[in-house]
């Protein structure tokens, strides 16, 4: 799973996404955008989220020659997805580790990608926004907008995860 720097992420990711997902028996490979990691570290929430998985929570790329810290998930859940990172994903701009794994997943027909943007009405009125959503859906991603006012947990129910799959 991937999370970006959206309102509430450092408080809500644990309770509304990561813990319910871990309780379903899923092994979590969590990647944060660099800004989201900064928010988790500053709020003291980083270690709590990290405690839900045996895999490292990452936001940085590995060095050449270092082993890949995460296995290849069959399902990617990007929640919350910022307007900025959603736009970059649609354009294929992989300028951090979170976008690198998402862009690769989007180009892999065997991998399910769910993108859950949370954004303001002003951000949604950007002239390129609708085109970005159309691009992502055209590539096979499931796009479901989430909100600061509604629990995010519902997006887990729509994921095609079974057995030992790893979001």
Judged by the rule CB under 6 A, the positions of this chain that interact with ligand FMN are 4-7, 33, 35-36, 82-85, 118-119, 123
Q: Which of 102, 47, 80, 85 is nearest to 151 (CA)?
A: 80
Q: Which is nearer to ligand FMN, 90 or 161 (CB)?
A: 90
Strand order in the sheet with 31-32: 31-32, 2-3, 75-81, 112-117, 142-143
Burial bucket for residue 110 (CB in 10 Å: 0-12, 13-18, 19+)? exposed
Q: Which is nearer to ligand FMN, 74 or 84 (CB)?
A: 84
Q: Which is nearer to ligand FMN, 118 or 135 (CB)?
A: 118
Q: Which is nearer to ligand FMN, 7 or 111 (CB)?
A: 7
Distance from C-alpha of 106 to C-alpha of 101, rounded to nearest angstrom: 9
Shortest distance, CB of residue 164 to ligand FMN, whole angstroms?
29
Distance from C-alpha of 145 to C-alpha of 161, rounded to nearest angstrom: 20
Shortest distance, CB of residue 128 to ligand FMN, whole angstroms?
14
Paired strand residues for 77? 114
Shortest distance, CB of residue 165 to ligand FMN, whole angstroms?
25
- The CA radius of gyration of the chain, in Å to the nearest whole number, is 15
Shortest distance, CB of residue 87 to ligand FMN, whole angstroms?
9
Q: Which is nearer to ligand FMN, 122 or 157 (CB)?
A: 122
Shortest distance, CB of residue 93 to ligand FMN, whole angstroms?
11
């Amino acid at each position: 799973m991937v999370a970006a720097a959206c309102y509430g992420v450092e408080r809500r990711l644990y309770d509304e996404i990561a813990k319910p997902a871990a309780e379903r028996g899923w092994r979590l490979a969590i990647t944060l955008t660099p800004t989201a990691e900064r928010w988790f570290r500053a709020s003291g929430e980083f270690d709590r989220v990290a405690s839900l998985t045996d895999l490292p929570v990452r936001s940085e790329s590995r060095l050449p020659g270092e082993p890949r810290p995460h296995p290849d998930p069959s399902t990617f859940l990007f929640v919350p997805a910022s307007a900025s990172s959603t736009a970059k994903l649609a354009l294929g701009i992989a300028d951090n580790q979170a976008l690198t794994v998402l862009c690769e997943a989007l180009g892999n027909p065997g991998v399910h990608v769910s993108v859950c943007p949370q954004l303001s009405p002003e951000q949604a009125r950007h002239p390129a926004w609708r085109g970005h959503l159309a691009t992502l859906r055209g590539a096979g991603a499931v796009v479901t907008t989430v909100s600061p006012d509604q629990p995010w947990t519902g997006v887990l129910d729509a994921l095609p995860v079974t057995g030992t799959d790893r979001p």
